[in-house]
C-alpha cells in the first residue's frame, strides 16, 4: 500500500487542512494517509485548543488513516528538531512520501536550497553565530544568514514560516537517509499568521482561534468542516490565559537555580522571568515584559510551556539521545489504517504503543506529564477522569 505522511497540529482542523489532505493523496497517488500530530502542547509553545483526542477524531473524520502522536520532546521544539522527530516516525512507518504545505509550492526549490546550504554550510554557520552575537533571535539569524549568501532566484524564501518548516522536512529526509519522497502543496488563500478571515471558506488556524476567543463563532462555520464545528461547540477550548495561574504558581515557587535547569532557559533569563511574573496579571502582560529582539514571542512561549510542565534540560537530553523518535504512539486509525499496520507491524524498527501502561521511555514519561499538566485546569470529576484516560484510552477506531 502506498502511504503518504503529513505532519499536523490541527489546532483546529479547518478547510485548508482538508484541502492539503486531499491534495496530498492526489499528488502522491496514496492509498493511506499517516498523520503525525502534536500532542497537547504545540510547536509555537501553546496549549492546544482542544485535546489530542478531539483533534484525532477531527483528523480521522477528515480522511487520515493513522494518527500518531509527535512526542512532546519534538512537538515543542524549533523547526529543525520538530521536523527530525516527525520524519523519523514516518520513516519507521514505511511511508513512501511526505507532503507538506508551503508558501512556495514547488518541491525542486526545497531540494536545491538544501544542497546549496550543505555546500555553504561553514559560511552559513559563521553568519548565524555573527547575527546571534548581535542580539538577533535564532530564526531571524537564520533568515539574515541565508540572505548574506550569494544565490540564484531558484532558491526558497526562507523568511516564510511554512517554507522554513518544509526545508527542514527535506533536510531531515536527506540526513536520515530515508527513501521518503518529498512533495509540497501550495498554501491556499490564508497565510499562516493571518489573524483575520481573508477568504469566504479558507482561514488560518490563528484567525479561527482568535474568532473563538473573542466569542465571534458565526464566521467559523464557513471555514471549518461540520465535524470540527460540532466538536468546538461541544468541547471547552483552551488558551494560555487559562493556564496563567498555574504558570505563575510554578515560577513563584521555584528558585532561580531551579528555573535555570528548565529546558531552553538561557543566559540568566530565569532572573528576568522571576522579576516579571510578580508584576504580571496575565500571560499577555508577562510576554510583553519579556519579549525582546533576541527572545521572540514563540521562543518565550515554548519556554513558558517547559516551566509549566517542569521539563528540565537533563530530561530532554535523556529522551533525545538519538535525535529521532524511539516509539510510535498510536492515537487513532481507520479500517484502512488498521490493515496497513497489520501488514507492516512485524517490520517496525521501534515499538508501537497502543497502551501507555505497557511501555516505558523517558520521552513517554514527559508526554504523560504534559498531558496531566494540560488537564489540570478542568474541574473535578472531569480532571480525574482525564488523568486516568491518558493510561486507559485505546486508539480511536473510525
CB-based contact 180:97 (threshold 8 Å)? yes
Confidence band, pLDDT 50/70/90 cuts, at residue 4: very high
58 within 8 A of 12, measured Cβ to Cβ:
yes
Q: How far apart are CA 331 and CA 276, in angstroms?
A: 38
Q: Is the pLDDT reported for residue 288 higher than 70?
A: yes
Asked if 128 contacts 142 with a C-beta cutoff of 8 angstroms, the reply is yes
Query: What are the Cα distances from residue 143, in Å, to 104, 132, 147, 266?
Result: 16, 11, 6, 22
Q: Is the pLDDT of residue 385 over 90?
A: no
How do residues 161-174 score in pLDDT, each as one tens digit? 899 999 999 999 99
pLDDT band per the 50, 70, 90 thresholds, residue 197: low
User: In the predicted model, what is the mean pLDDT of residues 122-137?
Assistant: 91
Q: Give the pLDDT band (50/70/90) at residue 236.
A: confident
How much of the chain exceeds pLDDT 70, in percent? 95
Q: What is the predicted pLDDT for the residue at 327?
A: 97
Tens digits of residue pLDDT in 78-120? 999 999 999 999 999 999 999 999 999 999 999 999 999 999 9
Q: Average pLDDT in the 174-197 region?
A: 79
Assigned fold of 3-103+164-234+323-397: Rossmann fold (3.40.50)
Annotated binding site: 7-20, 101, 162, 187
Partner residues linked to 330 by β-bridges = 68
Decide which of 98 and 221 is more confident.
Answer: 98
Q: Span 123-130, mean pLDDT?
A: 93
Q: What's the burial of 357, exposed, middle or buried (CB within 10 Å: 0-12/13-18/19+)?
A: exposed
From the number of C-beta atoms within 10 Å of its C-beta (0-12, 13-18, 19+), residue 360 rates as exposed
Mean of pLDDT over the chain: 92
Q: pTM for the full model?
A: 0.93
Determine the Cα–Cα distance for residues 229 and 361; give it in Å rounded to an integer.
Answer: 36
pLDDT the model gives residue 151 = 67
Mean pLDDT of 352-362: 90
- For 245: left if phi > 0, alpha if psi spans -120 to 50, otherwise beta; the answer is alpha
Binding-site annotation, residues for ATP: 7-20, 101, 162, 187
Tell me what the mean pLDDT of segment 286-299 comes to: 92
CA distance 41 to 301: 11
Residues 6+ apart with CB under 8 A from 4: 24, 25, 28, 30, 32, 33, 34, 95, 96, 97, 98, 99, 183
Mean pLDDT of 363-369: 96
Ramachandran class of 290: left when φ > 0, alpha when ψ lies in -120 to 50, beta otherwise: alpha
The string of DSSP codes covering 315-328 is HHHHHTTTSS---E
**Sorting pLDDT into bands at 50, 70 and 90, what band is 240?**
very high
**What pLDDT score was predicted for residue 54?**
95
The answer to whether the beta carbons of residues 3 and 340 sit under 8 Å apart is yes
pLDDT in the model for residue 345: 94
226: burial class by Cβ within 10 Å (0-12, 13-18, 19+)?
exposed
Q: In the prediction, which pLDDT does 355 show?
A: 85
Cell 515584559, residue located: 289
Cell of 64: 487520515
**pLDDT score of 143:** 85
Section 142-147 average pLDDT: 87
Q: What are phi and psi for residue 389, nearest 5 degrees?
A: -65, -30
Residues of the chain within CATH 3.40.50.620 domain(s) are 3-103+164-234+323-397
| Residues 338-367, mean pLDDT to the nearest whole number | 94
Gap between the terminal Cα atoms of the chain: 19
- % of the chain residues with pLDDT over 90: 76
pLDDT of 217 over the 70 cut: no
Top pLDDT among 387 and 223 is at 223
Residue 361 has pLDDT above 90, yes or no: yes
Quote the pLDDT of residue 153.
61
Q: What's residue 195's pLDDT?
A: 52
Helices (DSSP H) in the chain: which residue ranges?
A: 15-28, 52-62, 72-75, 79-92, 107-119, 121-133, 138-148, 161-175, 205-213, 226-234, 240-252, 256-259, 269-278, 283-290, 297-309, 313-319, 335-344, 362-375, 382-392
Rounded distance between C-alpha atoms, residue 171 and residue 165, angstroms: 10
Asked if the model's pLDDT at residue 192 lies above 60, the reply is: no
Instruction: Please provide the size of the chain in residues.
Output: 398
How high is the pLDDT of residue 184?
Answer: 97
Q: Which residues pair with 197 in a beta bridge?
A: none
Range scoring the smallest mean pLDDT among 15-24, 127-136, 149-158: 149-158
* Pairing assessment for the beta strands 328-333 and 396-397 based on DSSP bridges: parallel
Instruction: State the virtual CA torsion across 317, 322, 323, 327 in degrees, nearest 10.
Output: -100
Amino acid at each position: 500500500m502506498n502511504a503518504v505522511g503529513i505532519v499536523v497540529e490541527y489546532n483546529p482542523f479547518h478547510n485548508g487542512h482538508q484541502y492539503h489532505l486531499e491534495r496530498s493523496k492526489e499528488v502522491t497517488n496514496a492509498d493511506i494517509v499517516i498523520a503525525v500530530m502534536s500532542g497537547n502542547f504545540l510547536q509555537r509553545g501553546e496549549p492546544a485548543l482542544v485535546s489530542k483526542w478531539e483533534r484525532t477524531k477531527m483528523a480521522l473524520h477528515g480522511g487520515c488513516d493513522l494518527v500518531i502522536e509527535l512526542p512532546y520532546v519534538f512537538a515543542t521544539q524549533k523547526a529543525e528538531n520538530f521536523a527530525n522527530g516527525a520524519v523519523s516516525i514516518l520513516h519507521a512507518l514505511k511511508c513512501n512520501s511526505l507532503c507538506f504545505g508551503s508558501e512556495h509550492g514547488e518541491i525542486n526549490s526545497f531540494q536545491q536550497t538544501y544542497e546549496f546550504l550543505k555546500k555553504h554550510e561553514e559560511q552559513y554557520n559563521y553568519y548565524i553565530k555573527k547575527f546571534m552575537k548581535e542580539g538577533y533571535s535564532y530564526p531571524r539569524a537564520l533568515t539574515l544568514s541565508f540572505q548574506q549568501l550569494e544565490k540564484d532566484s531558484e532558491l526558497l524564501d526562507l523568511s516564510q514560516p511554512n517554507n522554513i518548516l518544509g526545508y527542514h522536512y527535506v533536510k531531515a529526509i536527506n540526513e536520515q537517509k530515508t527513501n521518503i519522497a518529498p512533495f509540497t502543496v501550495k498554501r491556499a488563500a490564508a497565510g499562516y499568521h493571518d489573524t483575520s478571515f481573508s477568504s469566504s471558506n479558507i482561514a488560518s488556524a490563528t484567525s479561527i482561534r482568535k474568532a473563538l476567543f473573542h466569542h465571534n463563532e458565526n464566521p467559523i462555520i464557513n471555514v471549518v468542516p461540520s465535524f470540527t464545528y460540532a466538536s468546538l461547540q461541544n468541547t471547552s477550548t483552551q488558551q494560555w490565559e487559562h493556564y496563567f495561574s498555574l504558570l505563575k504558581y510554578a515560577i513563584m515557587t521555584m528558585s532561580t537555580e531551579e528555573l535555570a535547569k528548565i529546558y531552553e532557559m538561557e543566559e540568566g533569563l530565569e532572573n528576568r522571568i522571576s522579576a516579571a511574573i510578580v508584576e504580571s496579571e496575565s500571560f499577555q502582560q508577562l510576554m510583553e515584559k519579556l519579549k525582546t529582539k533576541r527572545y521572540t514571542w514563540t521562543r518565550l512561549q515554548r519556554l513558558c510551556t517547559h516551566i509549566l510542565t517542569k521539563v528540565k534540560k537533563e530530561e530532554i537530553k535523556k529522551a533525545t539521545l538519538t535525535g529521532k523518535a524511539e516509539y510510535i504512539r498510536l492515537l487513532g486509525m481507520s479500517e484502512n489504517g488498521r490493515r496497513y499496520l497489520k501488514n507492516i507491524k512485524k517490520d517496525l524498527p521501534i515499538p508501537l504503543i497502543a497502551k501507555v501502561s505497557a511501555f516505558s521511555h523517558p520521552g513517554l514519561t514527559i508526554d504523560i506529564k504534559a498531558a496531566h499538566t494540560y488537564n489540570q485546569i478542568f474541574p473535578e470529576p472531569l480532571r480525574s477522569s482525564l488523568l486516568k484516560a491518558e493510561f486507559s484510552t485505546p486508539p480511536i477506531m473510525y
